[in-house]
């Protein structure tokens, strides 16, 4: 065990060099992207950064053992708070390095079936817990130092014969050149910084990361306004990205449609058109024209369905056209199962009643 710990300690210097080179490649790639460098050069920089990342993970294979040994030594500390913070921090570091080793096995091809996203989230979580414990230990040590400084200052004031109340000078507190007035201010600044740190950590716990190097790109017809609306959807046991294209269709008949793009499939998998604009919605006998279906998408319930809305859906009644809009309920098999038109109005009554009222008006004129 001791030999392995010594070997891993020697590899930490190499790991730091690889880390510096990896961060330099990341900075260089960002600068090249901003200045419009060639895509081939940017790709080479990203590949070099990926190789350096794998090399770092390889050099960290023995760090879990080192962290466990550090946790065993921290158990014997006399201070309860320091013992708890340091021990829990080292244990989380050991778990973080273990998850990092699993990720290395998955990325290197030794374990191709490893769910890299799940293990990456676990490693980030353990790293965050370790960071929180280290910050808590630092805050506790700063508090101990402040208490020691206050006690030492009180002793000096007693020796010099100056009155002291609660460790703070009572003659001219806060005056120029009096350190007694600065201690409460220092404590107040320390509390404010701890509060700010707590707010920052709270924001980190609900954050998420965007993968800039391996994005999933879903493409569709630009003339159909593909991407006007999007919705992450789970239906039929699969994960989908629903994309609205409200201008889908030929000129003069922009019915609109919704495309479904598989998230769990291959990166180059195309999106499939749903043909929802070909269905009859409402009580219309034929599909409406220029209704722009897919302008808004909404998840409905847990049965795998969703709702797609067409705000310009219209229906003709005699010589009048009513544009009330409509929303179609779509099931897990991507078929409309009813519609919702809350602003639709009943058709005005035409026929004998209207004819008799017109005759009565004509009779009144005679």
Predicted local distance difference test score (pLDDT) of residue 7: 54
For a pLDDT cut of 70, what percent of the chain falls above it? 71
User: What do you get for the CA distance between the two ends of the chain, in Å?
Assistant: 116
Cα torsion angle, 120, 121, 125, 128, sign: positive
Q: What is the DSSP letter of 287?
A: P
Domain map (residue ranges) of the chain:
9-156, 222-340
Tell me which residue of 231, 349, 351, 250 sits closest to 300, measured CA to CA.
Answer: 231
In sequence order, what DSSP letters do the residues of 126-177 get, joined into one string?
Answer: HHHHHHHHHHHHHHHHHHHHHHHHHHHHHHHHHHHT--EETTEESSSTT-TT
Q: Average pLDDT, whole number, for the chain?
A: 75
For range 84-100, the mean pLDDT = 89
pLDDT digits (tens, 9 = 90+) for 184-231: 666 677 777 777 777 766 665 655 566 667 777 888 888 889 989 998
Q: What percent of the chain has pLDDT over 90?
A: 6
C-alpha–C-alpha distance, residues 265 and 204, integer Å? 30
pLDDT number for residue 366: 41
> What residues have CB less than 8 Å from 176, skipping those under 6 apart?
none
Nearest to 15 by CA among 213, 212, 360, 23: 23
- Give me the pLDDT at residue 329, please: 85
Query: Would the pTM count as exceeding 0.75?
Result: no
- 341 close to 322: Cβ distance less than 8 angstroms: no
Q: Write the CA distances from 199 to 184, 185, 295, 355, integer angstroms.
A: 23, 21, 37, 73
């Amino acid at each position: 065990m001791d030999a392995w710990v010594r070997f891993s300690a020697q590899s930490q210097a190499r790991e730091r060099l690889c880390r510096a080179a990896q961060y330099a490649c990341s900075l260089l790639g960002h600068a090249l992207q901003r200045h419009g460098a060639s895509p081939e050069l940017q790709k080479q920089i990203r590949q070099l950064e990926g190789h350096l990342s794998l090399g770092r993970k390889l050099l960290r294979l023995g760090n879990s053992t080192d962290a466990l040994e550090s946790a065993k030594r921290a158990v014997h500390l006399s201070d309860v708070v320091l013992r708890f913070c340091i021990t829990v921090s080292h244990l989380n570091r050991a778990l973080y390095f273990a998850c990092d080793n699993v990720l290395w096995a998955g990325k290197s091809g030794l374990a191709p079936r490893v769910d890299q996203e799940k293990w990456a989230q676990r490693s980030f979580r353990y790293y965050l817990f370790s960071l929180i414990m280290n910050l808590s230990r630092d805050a506790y040590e700063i508090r101990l130092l402040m208490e020691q400084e206050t006690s030492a200052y009180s002793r000096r004031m007693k020796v010099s014969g100056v009155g002291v109340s609660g460790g703070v000078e009572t003659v001219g507190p806060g005056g120029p050149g009096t350190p007694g007035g600065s201690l409460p201010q220092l404590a107040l600044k320390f509390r404010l910084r701890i509060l700010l740190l707590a707010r920052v950590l709270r924001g980190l716990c609900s954050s998420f990361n965007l993968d800039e190097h391996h994005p999933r790109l879903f493409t569709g017809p630009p003339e159909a306004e593909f991407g006007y609306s999007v919705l992450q959807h789970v239906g039929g046991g699969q994960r989908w990205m629903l994309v609205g294209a409200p201008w889908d269709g030929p000129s003069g008949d922009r019915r609109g449609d919704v495309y479904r793009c598989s998230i769990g499939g291959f990166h180059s998998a195309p999106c499939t058109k749903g043909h929802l604009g070909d269905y009859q919605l409402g009580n219309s006998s034929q599909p409406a024209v220029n209704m722009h279906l897919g302008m808004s998408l909404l998840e409905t319930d847990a049965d795998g369905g969703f709702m797609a809305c067409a705000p310009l859906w219209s229906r003709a009644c005699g010589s009048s056209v009513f544009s009330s809009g409509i929303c179609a309920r779509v099931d897990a098999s991507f078929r409309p199962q009813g519609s919702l038109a809350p602003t639709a109005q009943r058709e005005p009554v035409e026929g004998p009643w209207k004819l008799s009222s017109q005759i009565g008006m004509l009779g009144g004129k005679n």
